[in-house]
Amino acid sequence: MSQNDSQAILSVQRLSIEFGAKRVVDDLSFALYPRQTLCIAGESGSGKSLTSLAIMGLLPKQAHTPSGAIVFENRDLLSLAERERQQLRGKDIGMIFQEPMTSLNPLMTVGQQLAETLRRHEPLSRQAIAKRCREMLEAVRMPQVEKRLTQYPHELSGGMRQRVMIAMAMLCRPKVLIADEPTTALDVTIQAQILELMRELQQQYGTSLLLITHDMGVVAEMADQVVVMNQGRVEEQAPVRQLFATPQAAYTQKLLAAVPVLGSAGIPEDLSQQPALLEVRNLSVRFALRSGWFEAGKNVHAVENLNFDLRAGETLGLVGESGCGKSTTGKALMNMLAYEGSVKLLGQELNGLHGDALQRVRRDVQMVFQDPYAALNPRKTIFELVGEPLLIHDRLPNAPRRERVAQLLHQVGLPADAMARYPHQFSGGQRQRICIARALALNPKLIIADESVSALDVSVQAQVLELLEQLREEQGLSYLFISHDMAVVERICHRVAVMYGGQIVEIGRRDQVLHNPQHAYTKRLLSAVPLPDVERKRDFKSLLQEFRTPSPIKELGFVAPVQQFVQVSEEHAVAT
């Protein structure tokens, strides 16, 4: 290491950020060294994103920095004029954001957006700019670079857009790259690709990386140094190995304990003798695409020939990446969209039910959705929200309804006085508890949980999972647990079904599927999950290759080839 390497390239010194009188970041200090990766880890509201915006000079107008300094190359960024900061942004400090779907200008081509950055910071000729853009897209392993340059963002997938974002941030070879939750919105295999890319680029260009994330798996995978933040304060600052081996702060210990670790769960309780609650046979869902004057109509084959059983008291995990048809399956089981095939609940056929018969069945099947912020009507009180199913199905009078709602709230761990309040007065975790209470109101037999804990912070997530588990035991519920998160599925499910391209490719006990995967897709999926364990760093290089998902859009009259399953062991079946 040269003398230069030992000096911090970016250091944040006793930085505070306030919104009005409210302090959201308090006395934060850290230093980023050349070629190193510093992770700021923390849950929502910890102030980690605001810190990154403060470094970029992009804080919202209402925020101000009453004290502290951000020193970059011996200059305090906070004291620079806006014009000088503009010259640093994008040139010496680049940034990637969380939402690749909305972070690119929809009206400009990829090439235009890339060239714009270079033109701003470097006096190059047209040809030189085009050449640099092309090289950078190649560096982020973009397939078909020439074509991409002329495409608009909406023509690219989320992963591709995030590659464009990275290319754009790296174009001027910045000394520091800030990545704010760069992979949170992406599927795990795409996440692995992006993480691998950032590692490669960091080595290639000698960039220092400031990575902001809530995912301890990503931290373990990427970090050299870690800052753990909570409520705007630093809880702990340590080298990554030390942080995971001997966490000092109580908060860090709690956080690490709450993180579900893939591969840690044992053999689940044996429920194979239980009767089947739900029998799904040849379930298919198709969406018709509108036909034009000169085009024949086409169908989107969202779900193709699904077969599985759900036993009484069992939790079945349905995992897969976005677009694999897992949520569509959940909706079909709720009879919320038209499907083909047979779904039987306790022997009663659900397909084709409508009117009163459907209404009666819906008592037994309830749903808990992903976003607790959007799932509750903000104009209704908790009493009205949780009591609504009772009103609809039983026309329960006010007094007994109030009693029942209080009881339900107690079951999900909320005080009875919550009844008079409105959803905005609760945190995300509490709202999800309210959603669960509402689902429980009619004593259902089956709850379909569609990504129900995905939007929650890990510590809250752990609590909600515990609640679900406890309710299952007390009330003999069964869950169909739809999730993209392998570790969460492993923690709560008895059996797991892996979906890919609208079909189940592997199904079995959780330990069978997740510890001994047989299907190529399951293997690929599992190898992409970052583990919160520094001793087991993963090599994502093999994942960088394109893995082409077959298009679900098929001509009319297309009949999918019948899947053949091989029985690996008892309960464990794999599609060939």
Partner 1 sequence: MLTFIGRRIGYSLLILLGVSLITYLLLFMLPADPARQIAGRSATPEVVAGIRAQLGLDLPFYQQYAHYLGNLLQGDLGRSYIQRSEVTELLGSRLQPSLELMAAGIGFELLIGISLGVIAALRRGGIADRLLTALSFIGVSAPQFIAAMLFLYFFAVQLEWFPMGGYGGLKHLMLPALTLGLLGSGWYSRMVRSSMIEVLHQDFIRTARAKGLSRARVVLRHVLPNAIVPIIPMIGIDIGVFMGGLVVVESVFGWPGIGQLAWQAIQQVDIPVIVGVTTICAVAIVLGNLIADLVIPLIDPRIDIKKH
Cβ at position 159, least distance to partner 1 in Å: 17
- Contact with partner 1 (CB under 8 A) among 103, 157, 231, 351: 103
Strands of the 10-19 sheet, one edge to the other? 22-32, 10-19, 63-72, 75-76
Residues 6+ apart with CB under 8 A from 287: 299, 300, 302
> Which stretch, 210-218, 292-300, 324-332, 395-403, contacts partner 1 (CB under 8 A)?
292-300
Structure tokens of 523?
A: 């293997």
Q: How far is the CB of 92 from partner 1 (least distance, A)?
A: 9
The footprint of partner 1 on residues 507-566 (CB under 8 A) is none
The DSSP line for 454-517 is: TTS-HHHHHHHHHHHHHHHHHHT-EEEEEES-HHHHHHH-SEEEEEETTEEEEEEEHHHHHHS-
**Exposed/middle/buried for residue 473 (C-beta within 10 Å: 0-12, 13-18, 19+):** exposed
CB of 58 to partner 1, least distance (A): 6
Should residue 122 be labelled a site residue for partner 1 when binding is judged by CB under 8 A? no
DSSP alpha helices (H): ranges in 91-187?
110-121, 126-139, 145-149, 158-170
Minimum distance from residue 84 beta carbon to partner 1 (Å): 11
Q: Which of 34, 42, 47, 90 contacts partner 1 by CB under 8 A?
A: 90
Binds partner 1 (CB under 8 A): choice among 62, 79, 294, 546: 294
Q: How far is the CB of 103 from partner 1 (least distance, A)?
A: 5
The encoded tokens of residue 54 equal 């403060």
* Contact code string over 172-211 relative to partner 1, x by CB under 8 A: ----------------------------------------
Phi, then psi, of 81 in degrees rounded to 5: -75, 155
- Residue 502's nearest CA partner among 310, 342, 286, 341 is 286
CB of 112 to partner 1, least distance (A): 9
Query: Which listed range, 20-28, 162-170, 312-320, 523-531, lies at the site for partner 1 (CB under 8 A)?
Result: 162-170
Nearer Cβ to partner 1 (124/276): 124
- Applying CB under 8 A, does 120 fall inside the site for partner 1? yes
Size of interface with partner 1, in residues (CB under 8 A): 32
- Does 107 participate in binding partner 1 (rule CB under 8 A)? yes
HEC secondary structure over 319-384: ECCCCCCHHHHHHHHCCCCCCEEEEEECCEECCCCCHHHHHHHHCCEEEECCCCCCCCCCCCCHHH
> In this structure, what token pair is assigned to residue 187?
């599927």
Name which of residues 48 to 87 contact partner 1 (CB under 8 A): 56, 58, 82, 86-87
Q: Which of 117, 191, 202, 230 binds partner 1 (CB under 8 A)?
A: 117
Side chain identity at 436, as an amino acid letter?
Answer: I
Hunting for tokens 């982020």 — which residue is that? 140
CB of 485 to partner 1, least distance (A): 24
Contact between 154 and partner 1 (CB under 8 A)? yes
**Structural contact between residues 510 and 527, judged by C-beta atoms closer than 8 angstroms:** no
Could you say whether residue 111 binds partner 1 (CB under 8 A)? no
108 or 249: whose CB is closer to partner 1? Answer: 108
Give the DSSP letter of residue 563.
P
Alpha-carbon torsion 324, 327, 333, 339, what sign? negative
Task: Give the footprint of partner 1 on this chain (CB under 8 A).
Answer: 56, 58, 82, 86-91, 94-95, 97, 99, 102-108, 116-117, 120-121, 152, 154, 165, 168-169, 292-294
